[in-house]
Every structure is written in C-alpha cells, then in structure tokens.
Amino acid sequence: MNKYYLGVDLGSTTSKAVIINEQDEIIGRGITNTRANYSVAADIAKDEAIYNARFSILKKKLEAEIKSNPAYSKYINDLESVFQYEQFKIRLDKLGEELLKTCYTFFKDAAVQEKMIQHLRNIRKAFKPVIKHEYLYNNLGAKNQFFRDIVSEKYNDEVNKLEMSLFEPLMTVWDKSISPAENQLITFNFKELVEKAMDELREKYKNIPDEVMENTSVNFDAELNLLKGNFEKVYETLRVHIDEIAGLEFNITNMTGTGYGRALLPFPQECIRSEILCHAFGAHAVFPDTRTVLDIGGQDTKAIQVDRYGLVTSFQMNDRCAAGCGRYLGYIADEMSISLNELGPMALKAEKEVNICSTCTVFAGAELRELTNLGEKREDILGGLHKAIIMRAMSLLARSGGVFNEFTFTGGVARNPAVIKYLSELVKENYGDQIKINIHIDSIFMGALGGAMFARRNMNLSLPTGKAETA
C-alpha cells in the first residue's frame, strides 16, 4: 500500500495542509482561513488536501493519456473546480440555515422576520448563479479564496443594491451567521460530489455553441469545439478512473503539526514541530541550494539560515511588532477598503514610494489618511508601505547573519507581487546581483510541506542518547 505523510501548518491567518508520498512529492494541498478554531481548521485543511490528492492521483494515472491528449488535463482541472463548487453549495445551504436561524431569533416582529427572510431569499437567488458560473469557468481568480470571502463579496453587493435602511439589519444577520456556518466541519461524500460534478461538466460542454459566432475568433471557437467533442469521448474512461480514486483509501502513515496553533493540535508531542524548522525544511526541499529563508507570515516574520541538509543553524524572529507582517497588509487593505489581493498590483503602479515613517500598524492607518489628505496618490502610498515592510525584513535578515545564496522567500505574503518587487530590489542592492532569489508557487505551503517531510523522515526514530564519558 502507498504510504502518505501529512503536514499541517496552523498559521494565524490561514491553515494549510500538505500530503506527500514516499518520494517527498506533494500530492495534495489544502488551505482554509483560520477564523474557525484550530482543530476545525486543521481538519478542513486536511480534508481539502485529501480531495486534492485524489485529483492529483487521477492526473498521475492519466499521465500517458494527458501527454497524447492535453485536453485531459483541462478536464481534470475543471472537474476539481466544479467539485469545489459542489462543496461550496453544501456549505451555502448551511449558511442559509444559519441565516434563517438568526432571523428568527434576532427579529421578534413576525412581519419584519418575513420581510428579512424574503430579502435573504432574493439575495441568494441573485448571487448563486453568478458564483456557479465563476466556478464552472474558472473565473474566481486569486482574490476569492475562501467560502467567507466569496460569499461576503456577493452578499455585500446585493445588500448595497437595496435601500439603506436594510443595510444595518442584513449585515447584522450576516455577521452572526457566517462564523457558525464556516466553522462546521462537513464531511463530504467524495464520490457523490464528483459524480455530480461530472454531470455539471457534461452539461457545460454540451452547451458550448456549435456554430462559430461572429465576435469570437476562429481559433478560440475551434478549441472549444475540440474540447466539447473530446469530453464526450473521454467521459466514460474518466468515470472508470474516478470510481477508482474515489474508492482509494488514504493511509496517513505519520503526520506533523506546525504553526502558531500547533500546541492545540490533537497530535502527540513528538509530532509537533516549530514552524521555523518546517519552513526551512520545506523551502530547502523545493530549492536544495537554499541557505537563507525569509518567511513573512500573518503575525510574524522569520529570517532563517540553513545548512546543506536544510537544518536550521540560526534564526531571528520578529514576534513583537505587526508592522512588517502579513497582518499589516490586511489592516492597510481594510483601511483602504480594497481586498488584500488587490494591494500588491495597485502598489506596482506606484510612480514613487512615499516615505512611511510609522513603525506601528495601528498608527500607519492614521499616517495613511494624513498622506491622502496631503494629496499623495494611493498607489504611491502603497508603494511606500510595501517598501517599508521589506526594509523591516532586510533588517531582520541582517540580524540573522545576512543573505546567502540561494535565498528563498516563503509564506502567504510571498504571493504579493509588490513585496516580491521590493524584496528583489533590496536583496540585490544589499547582497549583490549574484544572489538567486527563489519564490515557489506553493510558497504558502512551505511550512506544511516541511512538516510532512519531517513526518516522513522522523518515522520510527529515537534520539541517539549520550553515553557517559569522562573528560
């Protein structure tokens, strides 16, 4: 039987899970936001990683076919996306129940109750097809990652269309309902959902128009027709394989928990590892020549030096000040009323970097407003803010001993393009052009990956005990 290893990284903002096989290859990734309690977050992330693992095993099984027919790969990605939609629908039903419950307890007047429930129904009716479409056509983009984010954006849009007097009560109902809905651990029936997803996909491809539209390019349309035709052809083969992966048992041989919530995990003591070790080990596994690791997480920043085995030789940590961590960006996004994922791209448009003096997250909000009042452009202020974060990281790196080749950047903040821009500039400026900077697409999963790798390597091992010897 195949052996799998699980790493769970419970961060302050998101919880990540990674499953690897005996060859240290990532076969499953799962991520959720950590608004839920840590043990629910760990379970959700783990379940997600297992679903994802099934899809990657499916891809592996079809490796030969995918080579000869690249469309296969697209079908599987589509299938996973629609599968996620099926999960989403179930959680949306839970949210619906919570919203109703809240309405009944919150509004005492029957007429008001009825009115609010009607509004909630309309809201749901309005956004459900939009979300379905986004899932089906992969239009969700990077900005909507979690259930809460996806639904809240749409909910807000719909509420804003209604009259002002409804805003307050509808938002209150939302606030009271979202967390209970989000924090429920739902066990999904993989086979059932994936079958539903297959049917949805079949519909999707069937409905692709046969005729060439005037306003679409010939190439694009030809591609669509090809997809459509092929899907029918592979449908049956795909089903056989899906039955197989749905029945696959995931034997997690060992696991490691890491991150801020690690002490709260129901794992035995020896299965818990510091996130410092895990980030370093994960980063080193992906980029074996890594010597310096910078991890900017939600609530701390770490500069880590590693040796050729990926073992930490020293680290410096900012665990006192939020300015310089992911939370700082979250706070700024809130202050500017934009989504976290829009910050980086907006900062990239800066023509200059406004000097940000505040070394405090909370006061940065005041400074931001001051600068706006002085007529500074939002983009330029954001440019300055991003640079300020990196300046702090540079000082931490210097404290830890500097940057050695190669340099790997991990953590959720590594997804922000403006952060990457300023980091690259400043690393090269301070440590020379020769430094190779690594940023992996899975940078947010590095801690969980390192954890999973420790789980594999620490199997059946006990520490060598020191024998008595006399000096």
Q: Kindly list the residues in this chain that would bind another protein in the complex (CB under 8 A).
A: 273-277, 305, 307, 309, 311-317, 319-320, 399, 401, 454, 457-458, 461, 463-471
List helix spans (H) across 31-146.
38-61, 63-68, 71-106, 110-136
Q: How far is the CB of 207 from another protein (least distance, A)?
A: 54
Q: What does the block give as tokens for 383?
A: 């440019």
Q: Are the C-beta atoms of residues 464 and 36 closer than 8 Å to each other?
A: no
Residue nearer to another protein on the CB measure, 177 or 290: 290
Residue among 416, 418, 415, 414 nearest 348 (CA):
418
Per-residue HEC secondary structure of 340-376 comes to: HHHHHHHHHCCCCCCCCCCCCHHHHHHHHHHHHHCCC
Residue nearer to another protein on the CB measure, 24 or 221: 24
Residue nearer to another protein on the CB measure, 1 or 471: 471
Q: How far is the CB of 21 from another protein (least distance, A)?
A: 19
Q: How far is the CB of 54 from another protein (least distance, A)?
A: 31
Q: How many whole angstroms separate alpha carbon 69 and alpha carbon 445?
A: 30
* Pairing assessment for the beta strands 4-10 and 252-259 based on DSSP bridges: parallel
* Residue type at position 75: Y
Give the number of other Cβ atoms within 10 Å of residue 339's Cβ. Answer: 14
Q: How many whole angstroms separate alpha carbon 382 and alpha carbon 343?
A: 7
Q: How many whole angstroms separate alpha carbon 435 and alpha carbon 412?
A: 22
Q: What does the block give as tokens for 331?
A: 């706070």
Residue nearer to another protein on the CB measure, 164 or 471: 471
Q: How many whole angstroms separate alpha carbon 194 and alpha carbon 387?
A: 45
Q: How far is the CB of 282 from another protein (least distance, A)?
A: 13
Q: How far is the CB of 343 from another protein (least distance, A)?
A: 28
Residue nearer to another protein on the CB measure, 375 or 466: 466
Residue nearer to another protein on the CB measure, 219 or 269: 269
Residue nearer to another protein on the CB measure, 177 or 400: 400
Q: What does the block give as tokens for 228?
A: 């459509």
Q: How many whole angstroms separate alpha carbon 38 and alpha carbon 12?
A: 9
Q: How far is the CB of 1 from another protein (least distance, A)?
A: 24
Q: How far is the CB of 317 from another protein (least distance, A)?
A: 6
